Chains A and B, each alone.
Chain A
Amino acid sequence: MTRIAPRSPTTHVTHRRSVLLTRVVLLVLAIVVVLPFVLPYYSMLVLSFMPRSSIMQPVLHLWPEPWIWENYRRIFFGEWVLSVSIFRAIANSFILAAGQTIPMLLLCSLLAFLFAKWDFPGRHLLFGLSLATMFIPYQATLVAFYLLVSRLGWLDSFLPLWIPWWVPGFAIFFLRQYIAASIPDELIDASLIDGAGILRQYWSVILPLIIPGLVVVGVLNFVNAWNDYIYSNLVFSDVQLYTSTLYLFSFQGSRIAVPEYGMTTAASILSSLPLIVIFLIFQRQIISGLTRGTIR
């Protein structure tokens, strides 16, 4: 808590000085708090340019010494037991996350629009059903999910990582609240008088107005899909389909005597880069979406 000095002409200078001091103290404190969250990335970056033998020297590595490109070269060209390039894995992660997120946004916002603004038989029942799926934790369905997917013959395909995630209860609930709170009924009245049907209203009235909400739900879902390991590992056994998390685990999980620290950190840097870029593009919307308390 900051102590605010009384404002009077005589204490004006001391007041300004104490404000400055408070700012400096707060900044130092905040940097000390945030540093542990950032330093591991720096460490990862440094190690990714170093040969294994130097990484394993018991000294603090503040700068790559010696600096080599070997780790990056080997994962670019797949010169590793998997003989698959890291770019292939990143592309697979992208296909997985985009194919899950984009249809999800379209379908959930349409359903949310129906639940928020339209009346039809079974509306409450169906909305309740989508809420109920939120309360089934993944552990309670995981075993049978795998059995189901293998019976459907969907192993080694993206379908089981896309379709089941197209109607998450969380997204429908969030977007329903968003539409109910931000779109006045008069707007839909007006478009009804203009003769617009449901799809037309959705496409030209609702969708443009809920883009901030879609960004928050979309990016968080994209992150979760990109970072998935459990489901992807159940579905993919073909290394050509490996996503970046499976690719990384092939380093960490390999039973060879000494792990390839340099290549692992290089692959970690490259495979988290797309997410960081996407987050930085939308950071304003996401942080304000989270702090405005719209995501709970």
Chain B
Amino acid sequence: MLARPALRFRRASERELTRPSRLAMQRGLLVAILCPFIAIVSLFHLVPFLWSLYLSFHRWAGVGVPRWVGLENFAQIVKDATIRAAFLNSALFILVLVPVLTALSLACAMLLNQALLPMRGVLRVLIFLPYLTPAIIAAVIFSILFNERFGHVNGMLQLIGIPPIDWLKTPTGARAVVALTGIWQVLGYTTLITLGGLQTLPQDLYEAAAIDGANAWQRFWSITLPLLSPTLAVVSVIVLLFVLNLFLPYFLFPATSGYGPERSTVTVSVVQYVYAFANRRYGEAAAVGCAVGFVGFLLALLQIRIWRLSRGWMA
């Protein structure tokens, strides 16, 4: 029985590659390309993943032998006040930002998709710019703008007669600043992706609906929303991942390592970072990371499911 050739072009016969020396050379090349790939993926993705999983079941402060503690580190998610606050805050940000950002992306995309809108290209570039801005710069500018004494936000509120708000020192104010900065950073990106979805919708459906006398609102509910739901599912997953990775409070509230007033802004990403690299509580940090990974994966699947179901209801 002949051995299967190591490498062949998928559709064509291997007429040019059957000469033994040539085939051997290409095989060598294949190995030379694939080996670095396999090495990098194993060493920097699989090994750290398994190592973190291992650490999440152990107590370890960086020296000595890690001690097996079973599920104790995961129990800390409920028992440790800071880690618990981090999970609750992240859950709150998910509950608020996922629907808000998805709806805002849809609204902005529909506006930027209007054929009659002038300067559409420029507006698309401008709304996307904050996505290029690192969280640290967003934090620098927003912490100045929201300063309770000389920030422009309070300055403008005062012009319309609203007394100054202590944004950065109260739990609700701090959370609002984190949420607004996050929206500022990511809305341009999600808007462009939604815009991409809008542009693929068949125009003749709208014309047919207009002839049938459907008004703009009816066209939105019975054409745009159902047909766009795959795109909106993608957008909501992007926002979910953005919120799970939200590290912004660390830059907004550097004096408290991102915990914010009364631990109101600490997120899962922040608590993991601080526990691992400031407190050397590697086991708990690894447990937080693994839990976030697991929960995030489930939530993403759940969201896609919900969008599929809702599409079924709407259609």
Which residues of A does B touch, CB under 8 Å?
Answer: 1-3, 19, 22-23, 26-27, 29-31, 33-34, 36-38, 40-41, 43-44, 47, 55-61, 107, 110-111, 114, 117-121, 126, 129-130, 133, 135-148, 163-164, 166-167, 185, 188-189, 192-193, 195, 197-199, 223, 226-227, 229-230, 234, 245, 248-249, 251-253, 255, 261, 264-265, 268, 271-272, 275-276, 279-280, 283, 287, 290-293, 295-296
B117–A23 CB distance below 8 A: yes
CA distance A43 to B130 in the complex (A): 14
Contact call A118/B137, Cβ cutoff below 8 A:
no
User: Sorted from nearest, which 9 A-B pairs have the closest CB atoms?
Assistant: A1-B216, A144-B51, A227-B134, A164-B44, A140-B293, A139-B289, A141-B48, A144-B48, A291-B196
A272/B132 in contact, CB under 8 A: yes
Q: Name which residue of chain B comes closest to A134, CB basis.
A: B45
Please report B residues at the A interface, Cβ cutoff 8 Å.
4, 6-12, 15-17, 22, 25-26, 29-30, 33-34, 36-38, 40-41, 43-45, 47-53, 55, 108, 111-112, 114-119, 121, 123-145, 149-150, 152, 155-156, 184, 187-189, 192-193, 195-197, 199-200, 216, 219-220, 231, 234, 241, 244-245, 247, 251, 254-255, 268-269, 272-273, 276-277, 282, 285-286, 288-290, 292-293, 296-297
Chain B residues with CB under 8 A of A227: 132-135
> With a CB–CB cut-off of 8 A, which chain B residues contact A245?
134, 136
- Are A293 and B193 in contact (CB-based, < 8 A)? yes
Q: In the complex, A37 Cα to B145 Cα: how many Å?
A: 13
| Consensus secondary structure, chain B interface | helix
Q: Judging by beta carbons under 8 Å apart, are B193 and A265 in contact?
A: no
A284 — nearest CB in chain B belongs to which residue?
A: B121
B159, closest chain A residue (CB): A60
Interface centre among A22, A120, A137 (most CB of B within 10 A): A137
CB neighbours of A58 from chain B (8 A)? 149-150, 155
Tell whether, in the assembled complex, residue B12 and residue A192 are in contact, meaning their CB atoms are under 8 Å apart: yes
Shortest distance between the CB of B263 and any CB in chain A (Å): 19
Give the nearest-CB partner of B17 in chain A. Answer: A192
Best-buried of B33, B187, B231 by chain A (most CB within 10 Å): B33
Interchain CB contact under 8 A, B269 and A144:
no
Contacts of B111 in A (CB 8 A): 26, 29-30, 33
- A188→B49 contact, CB < 8 A: no
Q: How many A-B residue pairs have CB under 8 A?
A: 294
Q: Say which residue of B51, B141, B142, B150 sits within 8 Å of A148 (CB atoms).
A: B51
- Whether A163 contacts B44 in the complex (CB less than 8 A), given A19-B116, A146-B277, A252-B251, comes out as yes
* Chain B residue, CB-CB nearest to A26: B117
**Nearest chain B CB to A99 CB, angstrom units:** 14
What would 28 A/B residue contacts be, using CB atoms closer than 8 Å?
A: A1-B219, A26-B111, A30-B123, A34-B123, A36-B184, A40-B142, A44-B140, A44-B141, A58-B150, A107-B36, A107-B37, A111-B33, A118-B9, A119-B9, A133-B45, A139-B269, A142-B289, A148-B43, A185-B11, A195-B16, A198-B30, A229-B135, A229-B136, A229-B247, A234-B277, A272-B134, A287-B124, A291-B193
Q: Give the CA-CA distance A229 to B135 in the complex, in Å.
A: 9
| Contact A126 to B134, CB < 8 A, known contacts A30-B112, A140-B289 | no
B6 x A126 contact (CB < 8 A):
no
The CA of A61 and the CA of B153, in the complex, are separated in Å by 12
Q: Which residue of B lies closest to A254 (CB)?
A: B254
Cross-interface CB contact of B26 among A38, A57, A198, cutoff 8 Å: A198
- Which residues of B have CB within 8 Å of A43? 141, 144-145, 152
Give the CA-CA distance A145 to B45 in the complex, in Å: 8
